[in-house]
Amino acid sequence: MEHKYRYFKRDISWLSFNYRVLLEAEDAKLPLYERINFISIFTSNLEEFYKVRVADHKSVATGATREDGETIQSAAILLDEITCEVARQIRRRTNIYHNKIIPGLRKLHIVFYQNSQVEEFHKEFITTFFKEEIFPFLQPVPINKGHVVSFLRDNRLYLAVRVLTKDQSNPMAHHFVIKIPYSKVPRFIELPQHEGYYYIMFIEDIIKANLGLIFPGYDIDSSFSIKISRDADILIEDTKQGLELVEQVKKKVKKRKIGAVCRFVYDRHMPADFLDYLADTFHFNRDELIPGGAHLNLEDLRLLPKPLHKRYYKDEKPRAMRLNCLNEKSSIFSYVEQKDLLLHYPYHSFEHFIHFLFEAVHDPNTVEIMLTQYRVAENSEVINTLIAAAQNGKKVTVFVELKARFDEENNLATAEMMKRAGIKIIYSIPGLKVHAKVALIRRKGENGKKLCNFGYISTGNFNEKTAKIYADCGLFTANPHITSDLLTLFKVLQGKLLAKFNTLLIARYNLITELNALIDHEIELAKKGKKGKIILKMNALQDTTMIDKLYEASINGVEIDLIIRGICCLIPNQPYSKNIRVTRIVDSFLEHARIWYFHNNGKPKVYCGSPDWMKRNLYRRIEAVTPILDKDIKQELIDMLNIQLSDNQKGCFVDEKLRNRFKGCNNNEKVRSQYTFFDYLKNKNETLL
């Protein structure tokens, strides 16, 4: 029977994920400040979504650019769908914030003022604070329809103010914008305590309470928060390379700050005539007007002061552990030479990887250190260790991806710093992004032995900061088949186009072919009446070619479990996907690992690496995936997948309408997979004492 396959729209699917993030803010079992942080994450995610995805669709809808398969009409329809869904989610956020978070803070004896009206005992304080700490940084700018107006900066908070002349017979309205100076003053101001209560106030509310001091001689009519989001998706010509690419990226990054407006967010209580005046003055299109709350930029809530003793918002997140098999004096090289090693972040300490590099720096047998850089932390320990290696006389080669969105400036700065230290820098490949997260240590063998290489293949970046909040894994290995392929990969990054990989799966070389073969094998087993089973854990599933392959497998009886955190364009619960289940997990840490399992007639094949099944990852990037050859590590990853599929606390099914359907306990043992897996690893580590 022929089936007409269908797919979820990529960006509507992403909004379903972000909505799931918002639902964490509603979970009363979580510490209140963790719930507040999820509102911050939801808002920050949405801001980037508008700057990149919505900006792209707007460009297509206006005929300015073209995207694969997208027309002016389809882009316009999608933008309407996005606007409708975002409006629904913002209403839910407003409800959670005002009806659950604010009352929850009060229960902790924290009063978070939500307007400019304060208790009598605070009035003198906010007036004095305004005069001394805020007023010197304010610059009201008049705006007049038909005149040149001031430039509104991306994602900056402004107050739009309307004042009236004091002429009672014919008062004239004047309009101003005031940039909120929270680069000079904190967004949240702690007020004096009173009778056991702590008080916090938004800086913009303090300004609103003192507008009469800014506009003497006028009557204050009204004031409302506004902000804009600008297109941040800079277009880099992929034909450029080397220093030409560096100069182009420098210029393009500067233009991000003046990109086209993709949304104008305003306080939904603003009167229609005031909104019309602003829209006409700043030349905003009506479809760019997005209603928000009285307080915008709620991503700043991550900075909300915590004035109480920490027991009131106890942080019970798992703490990174050090492996007992690798104490500070032991050699990672000696261990990995005998047996592969897998680290799970953030449950295991990223310091083990730093120690791996540090050992290479001081090992006289180290010939060369090679590494890819996609996103690194500012003032990175990884980069500092590589610089120390170069200064110690080691040859160091680093591939730097200059086209990593929003990290271009940091990558440029670290590349130039490494170059000054004597590190060989390889810049982006024309037409491609390098997303692989790999490192290779080349060593001379002792006592005349042959060269012994040590490899590291990860699902996450070499970033000690994100390693504390992203759930990733990284494999250390001395397996010569893998390290030989890693060396070939670094030759590819240095310009060698023709290459053969025998063990690693590398996007644009053998990845797609091998994935198809693995799925086909499960299909053949199922056709023969044997067990066909696939488990795929990743961040995103969007490529329709690979989705079609999974649909085909489902039709033929292969059982498929997908653990997809974000975008999932595969639609479950259809005749052609009846054997496919989609699980989404959102919890304390960001699920980021890519782990693939194929049953293989009882002899499982397991892989981990950097790519999601997105078109960009599979066809337009260099990605690296390694098979897991060590039987103990393989079983560890299978156990992790099964724990995640059993999650009945933070795990939910994504249904055919993109709804997040929580699994629930059904009187079974409660399983919160991130915490259960941490205990699993902790118990395993303790047996190594």
Q: Is residue 8 within 8 Å of 652, Cβ to Cβ? A: no
Cα(220)–Cα(211) distance, integer angstroms: 7
Structure tokens at 129: 């604070």
Other Cβ atoms closer than 10 A to 489? 27
Q: Is residue 353 within 8 Å of 343, Cβ to Cβ? A: yes
Q: Rounded to an integer, what is the distance from CA 682 to the centroid of its chain?
A: 27
Q: Is residue 649 within 8 Å of 677, Cβ to Cβ? A: no
Other Cβ atoms closer than 10 A to 494? 13
Q: What is the largest CA-CA distance in the chain?
A: 100
625 phi-psi bin (left φ>0, alpha ψ -120 to 50, beta other): beta
Does an H or E element contain 440, and which? strand 437-443
Cis peptide bond N-terminal to 346, omega within 30: yes
Cis peptide bond N-terminal to 181, omega within 30: no
**Coil vs helix vs strand at 388:** helix
For residue 569, give Cα distances in angstroms to 60, 327, 549, 562, 598: 21, 44, 13, 12, 21
β-partners of residue 561 are 535, 581
Structure tokens at 152: 């509104």
Strands 624-627, 605-609: pairing kind: antiparallel
Cα(542)–Cα(8) distance, integer angstroms: 9
Q: Which of 435, 481, 592, 599 is catalytic?
A: 435
What is the C-alpha end-to-end distance of the chain, expressed in Å? 58
Active site residue 147: no
Alpha helices (runs of H) in 324-380, residue ranges in sequence order? 332-338, 351-362
Q: Is residue 207 within 8 Å of 180, Cβ to Cβ? A: yes
Q: Tell me the helices (H) and strands (E) count for the chain, helix number first.
A: 20, 28
Other Cβ atoms closer than 10 A to 656? 13
Q: Is residue 459 within 8 Å of 626, Cβ to Cβ? A: no
Give me the active site residues, please: 435
